């Protein structure tokens, strides 16, 4: 038997160490007495270690203190139910939290045991009272077990001895020898913690004196005994009618039963059944009384049981953790704290960066989508402002092109080419001051206003004059340069008027015999100011005859103001570019050529090219119409105009004198200059009646 007892003892010792270690760890972690169940898990023998672990640790845990204070018992010993799970189920540790504890008022610690932190009081913890459920007692005896009449233990013995005498006692007797042996062991255990575990199932350990012993009752055997003990202690001994003496005498039996621990579950269950069945009279009373007595304090017995089971499950799962996790946990355990912090910081950083990267990606995709939509919108606006004209209108081949500025100056240029009645062709090219989005509405406004007047039948000069007076208020500070022209195919003339805009380049393609190019020298003096500049515009109109093949190039100042070798591209180079491109050139080819030749293009470039075919002869100015005011005459501009138009100084002076006389009477005079084969012919008319009528017609001013 000794060998039998020794083997489990070794196992119990080893297990206890583990249990204590884990329990201590858990205590440190503030988990209180929870962990002991872990150690109790493996099998029967380990349950003792669980108990011992609990016994050692629990008093330190808050749960031990939380134990329900039961009726005070003068005796100090504490009895707590130890986990006694049925085989196959992990033993349940006695948790202060889950199990109920009846803890009689702590008596004076005769010597605080190793684990009797909270005092050597009688602590009874029950996990469950239902028969099949595991119950265990932790029995801490700060005082001696015998004479100090540790009520629980003795009463358990009483129950075992008295009530279950017919059943359990037989078993007890059967193992009495062992029990005595065990008792002897316990005597030793009084000095040092009892390490013997007689059975693979729970062990009853009793501490004595300073050394606290833990009483671990066999799973099932302990159950009734413990219950009985607790009941007895609660109900006080009178119920069982056992006095201290009997208790004392019986206690060893109970201990023996517990210590023997060889009886199987079945045996235990039988014993208990017998206790229940064969306990008529007082035993029954005793059996029932405890239940009643305990009922109030064990109201949440079921709950406690459930909780205990949960705890077991938890233990199982934690124990069933994969080896990998355990390994990792072990590795993490040896990593120094600073390194851990560093790793955590790095992980956090990586996560933050990953999130940021993802966010950036999402944003980039959204921006790209929006950009596509914007470009589409801009394309639509562009199409509205820069229409695609018919390639051929009567005898004239047309082409248009637009090229945005390289820099921030984009926007503002516009053109339009459309047919009028009688086969005439109208061209509008303009540029609104300001750039970008703000120029767009003005661009559209000017273009459609001028177009409307042209379509209404006004001559280019009158159209600009009227538009100028109408748009002056609407342009709100910005101004627009516009050139409006009408090509008359039957008369083969081009009539144009400019409002501060560069005049068209008129290039006669000639016979092609010598390949020479002749561009008409257009008079720039007395050009009309832009629309919106606060001055009267549409003051001049020029009629050019185009008898033979020619190219008429309307453009914006972006073309002539492109930079080439630190200088402006200029009209002369434009003529050169046109000549180089040949007769079949298009506006697009022209702008590409200009862009190729120049170093920088700070402004938009727009071009409208009309190619007049058939016929013969070179283009020439045939008619000039100029509205004069006193300032133009006084500043000498009128005279310069006349001189540039080919008049002699004397003739020009004579005309100026006449104009002055006219202007003394009126605010303006209309000078009509006819240029033909002969010398220039000048007619000075009164105020322009057509102009006045047009203004009246549109209701302006």
Partner 1 sequence: MLTTADTSSPEPFTGAFGIIQSQPDERTSVVALEGELDLGRAPSLKWALVDSVDAGYKQLVVDLTRVRFMDSTALSVLVGVNRSLDVGARLAIVCVNTNVLKIFELSGMDGAFAIFPTLDEALAHVRGHTARIG
Cα separation values, 401 from 284, 425, 553, 588, 606, Å: 115, 18, 11, 5, 6
Is the distance from CB of 96 to CB of 50 less than 8 angstroms?
no
Task: Name which position in 128, 193, 413, 603 contacts partner 1 (CB under 8 A).
Answer: 603
Task: Name which position in 25, 355, 361, 534 contacts partner 1 (CB under 8 A).
Answer: 534
Regarding 533 and contact with partner 1 (CB under 8 A), the answer is yes
Regarding 659 and contact with partner 1 (CB under 8 A), the answer is no
Beta carbon nearer to partner 1, 297 or 478: 478
Which three-class secondary structure state does DSSP give residue 620? strand
Task: Name which position in 8, 104, 117, 500 contacts partner 1 (CB under 8 A).
Answer: 500
Regarding 383 and contact with partner 1 (CB under 8 A), the answer is no
Least distance CB 358 / partner 1 (angstroms): 41
Contacts of partner 1 in 610-649 (CB under 8 A): 631-632, 634-637
Task: Name which position in 524, 614, 648, 696 contacts partner 1 (CB under 8 A).
Answer: 524
For 544, the token pair is: 């050019």
CA 339 to CA 333: how far, in whole Å?
Answer: 11
Secondary-structure percent of the chain, ordered helix, strand, coil, rounded to 5: 50, 15, 35
Regarding 423 and contact with partner 1 (CB under 8 A), the answer is no
Count of beta carbons in the 10 Å neighbourhood of residue 88: 7
Regarding 355 and contact with partner 1 (CB under 8 A), the answer is no
Least distance CB 555 / partner 1 (angstroms): 13
Task: Name which position in 295, 354, 568, 697 contacts partner 1 (CB under 8 A).
Answer: 568
Regarding 465 and contact with partner 1 (CB under 8 A), the answer is no
Residue 176: DSSP 8-state: H
Least distance CB 394 / partner 1 (angstroms): 30
| From 130-138, 151-159, 449-457, 566-574, span contacting partner 1 (CB under 8 A) | 566-574
Q: Is the dihedral of CA 583, 584, 586, 591 positive or negative?
A: negative
Beta carbon nearer to partner 1, 322 or 477: 477
Task: Name which position in 284, 316, 382, 433 contacts partner 1 (CB under 8 A).
Answer: 433
Task: Name which position in 381, 535, 651, 653 contacts partner 1 (CB under 8 A).
Answer: 535
Beta carbon nearer to partner 1, 262 or 475: 475
Least distance CB 596 / partner 1 (angstroms): 15
Site string for partner 1, 477-496 (x = CB under 8 A): xxx-x---------------
Cα separation values, 139 from 23, 43, 79, Å: 18, 21, 4
Beta carbon nearer to partner 1, 1 or 634: 634
Regarding 653 and contact with partner 1 (CB under 8 A), the answer is no
Regarding 566 and contact with partner 1 (CB under 8 A), the answer is yes
Regarding 667 and contact with partner 1 (CB under 8 A), the answer is no
Q: If 0-12 CB within 10 Å is exposed, 13-18 middle and 19+ buried, where does residue 620 land?
A: middle
Cα separation values, 333 from 253, 324, 326, 347, Å: 48, 14, 10, 18
Least distance CB 477 / partner 1 (angstroms): 7
Beta carbon nearer to partner 1, 366 or 563: 563
Least distance CB 601 / partner 1 (angstroms): 10
Residue 471 contacts by C-beta under 8 Å, 6 or more apart in sequence? 445, 446, 449, 480, 531, 532
CA 114 to CA 267: how far, in whole Å?
Answer: 34
Regarding 557 and contact with partner 1 (CB under 8 A), the answer is yes
Q: Which helix (H) or strand (E) holds 35?
A: none
Task: Name which position in 148, 218, 225, 537 contacts partner 1 (CB under 8 A).
Answer: 537
Beta carbon nearer to partner 1, 249 or 433: 433
Least distance CB 640 / partner 1 (angstroms): 9
Phi-psi region of 255 (alpha: psi -120 to 50; beta: other; left: phi over 0): alpha
| From 43-51, 226-234, 293-301, 596-604, span contacting partner 1 (CB under 8 A) | 596-604
Q: If 0-12 CB within 10 Å is exposed, 13-18 middle and 19+ buried, where does residue 323 land?
A: exposed
The count of residues interacting with partner 1 (CB under 8 A) is 43
Regarding 529 and contact with partner 1 (CB under 8 A), the answer is yes
Least distance CB 450 / partner 1 (angstroms): 16
Q: If you search the block for the tokens 């009539």, which residue do you land on?
A: 495
Regarding 474 and contact with partner 1 (CB under 8 A), the answer is no
Buried b (16+ CB within 10 A) or exposed e, 506-519: bbbbbeeeeeeebb
Count of beta carbons in the 10 Å neighbourhood of residue 204: 38
Is the distance from CB of 50 to CB of 40 less than 8 angstroms?
yes
CA 40 to CA 17: how far, in whole Å?
Answer: 12
Is the distance from CB of 669 to CB of 632 less than 8 angstroms?
no
Least distance CB 367 / partner 1 (angstroms): 29
Beta carbon nearer to partner 1, 50 or 663: 663
Q: If 0-12 CB within 10 Å is exposed, 13-18 middle and 19+ buried, where does residue 664 land?
A: exposed
| From 30-38, 199-207, 301-309, 599-607, span contacting partner 1 (CB under 8 A) | 599-607
Task: Name which position in 74, 108, 177, 407 contacts partner 1 (CB under 8 A).
Answer: 407
Q: Which helix (H) or strand (E) holds 621?
A: strand 620-628
Task: Name which position in 105, 525, 695, 700 contacts partner 1 (CB under 8 A).
Answer: 525
| From 85-93, 262-270, 312-320, 595-603, span contacting partner 1 (CB under 8 A) | 595-603
Least distance CB 430 / partner 1 (angstroms): 12
Is the distance from CB of 401 to CB of 413 less than 8 angstroms?
no
Regarding 569 and contact with partner 1 (CB under 8 A), the answer is no
Of 483, 480, 484, which Cα lies nearest the Cα of 532? 480
Regarding 436 and contact with partner 1 (CB under 8 A), the answer is no
| From 70-78, 141-149, 324-332, 525-533, span contacting partner 1 (CB under 8 A) | 525-533
Regarding 662 and contact with partner 1 (CB under 8 A), the answer is no
CA 520 to CA 577: how far, in whole Å?
Answer: 15
Which three-class secondary structure state does DSSP give residue 296? helix
Regarding 499 and contact with partner 1 (CB under 8 A), the answer is yes
Q: Which helix (H) or strand (E) holds 497?
A: strand 493-499
- Which residues are near partner 1 by CB under 8 A? 407, 409, 431, 433, 477-479, 481, 498-503, 524-530, 533-535, 537, 539, 557, 561, 563, 565-568, 599-600, 602-603, 631-632, 634-637
């Amino acid at each position: 038997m000794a060998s039998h007892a020794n083997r489990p003892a070794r196992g119990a010792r080893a297990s206890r160490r583990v249990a204590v270690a884990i329990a201590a760890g858990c205590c440190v972690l503030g988990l209180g007495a929870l962990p002991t169940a872990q150690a109790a898990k493996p099998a029967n023998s380990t349950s003792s270690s669980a108990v011992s672990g609990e016994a050692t640790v629990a008093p330190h845990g808050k749960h031990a203190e939380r134990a329900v204070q039961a009726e005070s018992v003068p005796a100090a010993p504490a009895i707590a139910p130890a986990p006694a799970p049925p085989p196959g189920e992990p033993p349940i540790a006695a948790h202060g939290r889950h199990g109920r504890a009846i803890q009689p008022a702590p008596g004076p610690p005769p010597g605080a045991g190793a684990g009797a932190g909270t005092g050597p009081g009688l602590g009874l913890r029950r996990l469950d009272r239902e028969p099949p459920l595991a119950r265990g007692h932790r029995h801490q005896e700060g005082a001696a077990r015998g004479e100090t009449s540790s009520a629980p233990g003795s009463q358990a013995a009483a129950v075992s001895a008295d009530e279950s005498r017919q059943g359990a006692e037989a078993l007890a007797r059967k193992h009495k020898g062992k029990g005595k042996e065990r008792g002897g062991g316990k005597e030793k255990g009084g000095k040092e913690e009892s390490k013997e575990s007689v059975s693979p199932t729970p062990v009853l350990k009793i501490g004595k004196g300073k050394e606290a012993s833990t009483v671990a009752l066999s799973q099932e055997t302990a159950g009734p005994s413990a219950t009985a003990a607790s009941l007895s202690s609660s109900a006080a001994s009178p119920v069982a009618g056992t006095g201290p003496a009997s208790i004392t005498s019986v206690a060893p039996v109970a201990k023996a039963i517990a210590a023997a621990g060889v009886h199987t579950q079945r045996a235990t269950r039988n014993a208990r059944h017998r206790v229940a069945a064969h306990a008529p009279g007082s035993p029954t009373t005793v059996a029932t009384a405890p239940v009643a007595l305990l009922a109030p304090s064990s109201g949440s017995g079921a709950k406690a049981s459930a909780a205990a089971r949960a705890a077991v499950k938890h233990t199982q799962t934690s124990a069933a953790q994969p080896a990998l996790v355990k390994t990792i946990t072990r590795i993490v355990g040896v990593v120094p704290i600073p390194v851990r912090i560093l790793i955590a910081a790095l992980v956090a950083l990586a996560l933050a960066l990953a999130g940021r990267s993802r966010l950036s990606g999402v944003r980039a995709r959204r921006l790209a989508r929006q950009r596509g939509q914007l470009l589409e919108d801009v394309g639509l606006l562009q199409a509205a402002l820069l229409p695609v004209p018919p390639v051929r209108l009567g005898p004239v081949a047309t082409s248009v092109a637009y090229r945005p500025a390289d820099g921030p100056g984009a926007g503002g240029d516009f053109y339009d080419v459309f047919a009028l009645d009688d086969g005439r062709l109208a061209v509008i090219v303009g540029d609104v001051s300001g750039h970008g989005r703000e120029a767009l509405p003005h661009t559209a406004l000017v273009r459609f206003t001028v177009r409307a007047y042209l379509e209404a039948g006004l001559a280019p000069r009158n159209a600009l004059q009227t538009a100028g007076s109408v748009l002056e208020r609407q342009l709100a500070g910005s101004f627009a340069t516009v050139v409006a022209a009408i090509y008359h195919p039957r008369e083969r003339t081009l009539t144009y008027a400019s409002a501060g805009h560069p005049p068209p380049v008129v290039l006669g393609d000639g016979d092609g015999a010598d390949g020479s190019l002749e561009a008409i020298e257009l008079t720039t003096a007395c050009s009309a100011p832009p629309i919106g500049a606060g001055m009267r515009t549409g003051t001049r109109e020029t009629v050019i005859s185009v008898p033979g093949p020619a190219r008429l190039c309307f453009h914006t100042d972006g073309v002539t103001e492109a930079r080439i070798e630190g200088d402006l591209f200029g009209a002369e180079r434009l003529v050169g570019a046109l000549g180089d491109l040949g007769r079949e050139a298009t506006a697009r080819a022209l702008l590409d050529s200009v862009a190729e030749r120049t170093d920088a293009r700070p402004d938009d470039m727009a071009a409208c090219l009309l190619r007049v075919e058939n016929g013969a002869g070179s283009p020439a100015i045939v008619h000039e119409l100029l509205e004069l005011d006193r300032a133009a005459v006084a500043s000498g501009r009128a005279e310069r105009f006349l001189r540039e138009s080919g008049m002699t100084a004397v003739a020009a002076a004579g005309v100026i004198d006449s104009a002055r006389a006219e202007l003394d009477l009126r605010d303006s005079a209309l000078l009509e200059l006819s240029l033909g084969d002969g010398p220039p012919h000048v007619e000075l008319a009164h105020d322009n009646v057509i102009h006045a009528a047009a203004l009246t017609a549109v209701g302006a001013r």
